Amino acid sequence: MSPTLASAPGSCCFTGVKHTGTPVGRVEDLGGIPTYISDPPAPTQKVILFLADVWSPLFINNKLIQDYFASCGYIVLGPDYFFGDSVMNHENDRDRQPWIDNARKPAIDAFPAWLDAVKGKYGRENTKYCAVGYCFGAPFVLDLCSDGSVVAGALAHPAFLDESHFEKLDRPLLLSCAEEDHTFPLASRRRAEDIMVARKCAYHFQVFSGVKHGFAVRCDPAIDTQRWAKEESARGIVSWFDRFTV
């Protein structure tokens, strides 16, 4: 088996601050998965696939991030591959690990039909797709970046990755990382970089001090360092995707 670089979600993935705001997207069924859809101000053939953390794309923090990406000129699609049963339904610590173990296979199994439905609706030839994955969503992005489904990918505080994901990488990848991250620690981050350097991949790291795993979604906006890191992560992801969707 390929050595693990980003481990399974842990206790830090189940906490954070709920943000405030008014989401502007809507939920529709795509390929059998409820999907948060946020539209840009003007028609476009640029799409971001938003692969959420264990809180799902329907958590308000994630909705607001998706709306921000849409405001920057992208159609944003967030599949709820938890089918309404996100970590918010599992407050007991003893219940969470079995929930994660049981949630992965249905999500993985449902994803190909969802992706096919997305490309059937939004285009297969002229549409430029990007993908961003937070924690649980990271391996979906690396798979999409290895099979040519997207023009670029991005990760924020990833989980469930091993060396083989980076050995198969075939698209530009941004990694938005916390200085302190139990799932993707410094040694793993450096090993991932070594693999990408050896393979001459196109990549970019953002590494933020003073924040931990989950900062890009569930930071405390009342703390300046955390708020800036979250916002700069999102800005960096948009800027990265803009490079490859012109």
**Global pTM?**
0.96
Q: Which residues of 63-80 are buried (b: 16+ CB within 10 A; e: fewer)?
A: bbbbbbbbebbbbbbbbb
Based on its alpha-carbon atoms, the radius of gyration of the chain, rounded to whole angstroms, reads: 17
Convert the pLDDT of each residue in 198-227 to its tens digit. 999 999 999 999 999 999 999 999 999 999
Q: Do 70 and 38 touch, CB atoms closer than 8 A?
A: yes
pLDDT tens for 54-71 read 999 999 999 999 999 999
Phi and psi for 15 in degrees, rounded to 5?
-125, 170
Instruction: Let me know: does 132 contact 155? Beta carbons within 8 Å.
Output: yes
pLDDT at 9: 86
Helix (H, G, I), strand (E, B) or coil at 181: coil
Residue 113: pLDDT above 90?
A: yes
d(CA 69, CA 159): 22
Q: In the numeric block, which tokens belong to residue 29?
A: 């069924």
Strand spans (E) along 85-225:
128-134, 152-156, 161-162, 173-180, 203-212
* Catalytic residue positions, numbered: 135, 181, 213
**CA separation, residue 208 to residues 121, 202, 211, 232 (Å):** 37, 20, 6, 9
Say what the pLDDT of residue 93 is.
65
Provide the pLDDT for residue 129.
Answer: 98
